[in-house]
Structure formats: C-alpha cells, structure tokens
Amino acid sequence: MNFVERSLAEAAGLLTVTVGQDVRCRVDLALSHDVTAPIAIQQFEQIGVDRVFDPAKVVLVIDHIFPAATVQARTSHWIMKDFAAKYGVTLYSKSEGVCHQLISERHRLQPGQILVGADSHTCTAGGYGVIAIPVGSTELAAAMATGTIDLEVPETIEVFMTGELRPYVSGKDIVLSLMRQFGVDGLTDKAVLFTGPGIAQLPVEERMTVCNMGIEMGAMIACFGGEAKEEGVAASIPLDLTQIEPMAACPFSPANVRPVAELGDIAVTQVVVGSCTNGRLNDMEKVVNVLRSHKVHPDVNCLIIPASKQVLDAMEERGWTKILRDAGAVVANPGCGPCFGAHQGLGTERDTIVTTTNRNFPGRMGHRAAKLYLASPATAAESAVVGKITTPGTLQREVG
C-alpha cells in the first residue's frame, strides 16, 4: 500500500485496502464556506439529527463574498451564523481568510488525517500531507451528521520530483506544467502523490499551491508524501524540476498551458494576486520584490488579495502593504476576491487579466470573453509593471 492507501485504511479501521474497494472513513475535519454551507445546512436539517458529530471538528468560513455584495450573499452569512450558534461549531465571519488557508493556520490536521470540504480546492491541504476530499453540500451535510464519508479507494499516480527549480520558477509553474501534461481530466477519480528528493526545496506554502490545482486535473486526492519512492502506486511519473520554466494557462482552460516566454506581446489590463492558490506570504514577497522599485503600469489595475488576516498582518509588519499601495496596487480584504466571478474585480470583453488563481474558464471572472491567463505571482507582478505578459526576472535583471 502507498501513503494514500495506508491513510484511507487507517481512517476506515482496516488493516489493508485495495484499489476500487468501498470504504467508510472517519472524518477529522468538515469544512464549508458561504457558497456551499447554506445548502449543506438545509440538507443537514433535513436529516433530522439534533447535533453535529463533533462541534470541534466542524468549521464554517465566510470567505467567498465578504463584505456581502448582494442581499442574498448576506442572507447566506446569517444562515451560517444561526447554524454556528445552534450547534456550537466554529464560524469565521470577519474576513479572517480563505477557508483553505485559514484551516492550515488554525485547524491544521496531521499528515494522513481526513479532511472533507465542500469546496473543490479542499485538496490544498494535501500540501501538508492531509488526505483532503472535496465534496458538494449534500455530502458535507452527511459528513457533519455521521462523522464519516463513503469513498472508493482510488488508483494512485506518483509524481516523483528531482532536480532544482530555476530562479523565478515556483510551485505554480510546477503545477501548470503538470496541467499541460495531464490535461483537465487526466487524473479524474485518481489520487496524485508527490514524492522524490525534489520536494525538499519546496516549503509547505509552495506544496499547497501544487496540490491546490490537483482538482483542475480531475484528481480525487492530491497530496505530498515523503522523499522516498512509494510502494504500490499504479504509475510513477518522473518530473525534473530543473526543466520547468515560467508557465501560463491561456484562455480558456487551465490545461491550455504555454511557457510565458513564448506568448509574445499580450497587453494586460488587470492583474490579480491572491486566492487559495497563491495568496500566501511567500507569494506576496515575490510581488513586493518587484513593486519595491517599479510602479504598476498606468493601464493596469493591480489587485492584491491576501489569503488570510495572518498573511495581511505579516505584510503590514514588514511595511509591504504601503509599498504595494505606493506602487499603484490595491490591497483588498482577505478572502477569495474576484477568483470565482462574484465581486471585487470582474472583467469585460475588453479585459485581459493575469491572475494567480486557479481557473480561467469562460466567464470565470466576469464576461465570457474576458481573457484570463493563470500564472505565478512573479509573472503576475512583472506583467503588472510592464503592462504586457512578462517572463519573471526580466525587470529584476535590468535592475540588478
């Protein structure tokens, strides 16, 4: 058995499991947010139990639409507040951050534990070794009632990393390279397990970025294991990190990936840095490194959305928010920002947006014809200054 199978077996109270086996697993944390929680709450109350399985293991986060952009969004907040008060579960309701970042800071599970989250990017927790299962609202309701989840043991694909990343290349470029290789459904219903000596250079934050986009390849589970090769995987795919260059996913698919250097002259009207994919302190540092000595291009809106209050506090302490604002960027409150197209920076058909988020489907961030390029914070920052999609290192080499 590999790490994923060992973890599922342990959570199911079994000594062994095999691929395809149906298992009922213990849930260590159940997570939902203001888009998925209202339906989950409605479904939970349909079940007719009078308590959640363990109030300490149920977390609700208002991150998608805060402050409320519509009356209906605020109604969702109230549904969550009422539920939290009634059942004694934890609610974050004051822009403390994106749920995936927040639980990594305040409710961090151990490697191999089971997280069930009503959000597709629940897989982010795989960055610290958690078996994170993304579900919809009804399945989350069932998990809140029973403390269990029914799963089938997936086939595991190992990505065995070697080599050292080049300067200005980060976790986002790694996962975009994998997107190019696997496509949008290459890992459907599978687990992907990242191992190899190459992972040693990746801090947890970068590992979270890699796992975050596992769902964009269809994966059921994405997580980091150890540096050693795993036993009992369906396939082991080598990945030489030395070969990876700055990448961008072009309109309109996360798998439409090309090296930034090959994109040519593409004028940019908006840059977004943030989200559960790339809104952490290490991401912000890459932007500050550029905007410390350069101004945002006059034709570009540069939106910075820290993934959590803790990230924002650390930025403040370092004087980074002032640097970013003085360079012409806008620092918004922690949360999901415009990533999923509900508020805080939507585009029209005239916009070309470079964003560090995770999806560039048609209409994802406003108008169906708004062109979205997914890229790393380093690429986004230099593109914001130049006003065109720019390979990171271009400006910084000029200065150096």
Partner 1 sequence: MDKLQGRVWIFDDNVDTDQILPGYAMAEDASKLAAFAMAGSKVADFAKQVQAGDIIVAGKNFGCGSSREQAPVALKSAGVGMIIANSFARIFRRNSINIGLPVMLADVGAKLQNGEVVSVDLETGEIHTATGVLNGQPLSENVLATIRAGGLINRVRQELNISSGRKS
Q: For partner 1, which residue of 13, 55, 203, 362 counts as binding (CB under 8 A)?
A: 362
Alpha-carbon distance of 315 to 147, in angstroms, equals 37
Name residues contacting partner 1, limited to 200-239 (CB under 8 A). 215-216, 218, 220
Query: By the 8 A CB rule, do 21 and 153 touch?
Result: yes
Do residues 324 and 304 touch, judged by C-beta distance below 8 A? yes
Q: How far is the CB of 217 from partner 1 (least distance, A)?
A: 10
- Helices (H) then strands (E): counts for the chain: 13, 18
Of positions 2, 101, 137, 355, contacts partner 1 by CB under 8 A: 137
Contact call for residue 58 and partner 1 (CB under 8 A): no
145 part of the interface to partner 1, by CB under 8 A: yes
Q: Which residues contact 134 (CB under 8 A, 6 or more apart)?
A: 117, 118, 119, 120, 121, 122, 123, 215
Rule CB under 8 A: is residue 181 a binding residue for partner 1? Answer: no
- Mark 263-302 with x for binding to partner 1 (rule: CB under 8 A) and - for no binding: ----------------------------------------
- Using CB under 8 A as the binding rule, the residues of this chain from 237 to 256 that contact partner 1 are 253
- Radius of gyration over every alpha carbon of the chain, rounded to an integer in angstroms: 20
Q: Judged by CB, which is closer to partner 1: 114, or 284?
A: 114
Residue 35 as a binder of partner 1 (CB under 8 A): the answer is yes
The residue among 326 and 349 lying less far from partner 1, judged by its C-beta, is 349
Among residues 4, 130, 135, 305, the one that binds partner 1 under rule CB under 8 A: 135
| Residue numbers 114-133 binding partner 1 by CB under 8 A | 118-120, 122
Q: Could you tell me how many residues of this chain bind partner 1 (CB under 8 A)?
A: 50
Part of the chain binding partner 1 (CB under 8 A), chosen from 106-114, 278-286, 349-357, 359-367: 359-367
Where does this chain touch partner 1 (CB under 8 A) — which range of 13-21, 290-298, 299-307, 355-363?
355-363
Report which secondary-structure segment, H or E, holds 222: strand 221-224
Triad 337, 187, 6: Cα angle to 5°: 100
Q: How far is the CB of 287 from partner 1 (least distance, A)?
A: 25
- Least separation in angstroms between CB 381 and partner 1: 25
Minimal distance in Å, beta carbon 394 to partner 1? 32
Least distance CB 319 / partner 1 (angstroms)? 34
Q: Does 36 bind partner 1 (CB under 8 A)?
A: yes
Token pair in block for residue 361: 């489907």
Q: Under DSSP, is residue 303 helix (H, G, I), strand (E, B) or coil? A: strand
Please report which residue ranges of the chain form alpha helices under DSSP H. Answer: 3-12, 37-47, 71-87, 99-106, 137-146, 171-182, 204-212, 275-278, 281-291, 309-317, 320-326, 377-386, 394-399
The answer to whether 57 and 143 are in contact (CB under 8 A) is no
CA 161, CA 182: separation in Å to the nearest integer?
Answer: 16
The nearest distance, CB 365 to partner 1, in angstroms, is: 8
Does residue 134 belong to the site contacting partner 1 (CB under 8 A)?
Answer: yes
Task: Check: CB of residue 174 under 8 Å from CB of residue 243.
Answer: no
CA 365, 352, 212, 336 dihedral sign is negative
Tokens of 300: 């570009």
User: Which residues are near partner 1 by CB under 8 A?
Assistant: 22, 34-36, 39, 42-43, 46-49, 64-65, 70, 72-73, 75-76, 118-120, 122, 134-139, 141-142, 145-146, 184-185, 188-189, 215-216, 218, 220, 253, 340-342, 359, 361-364, 368
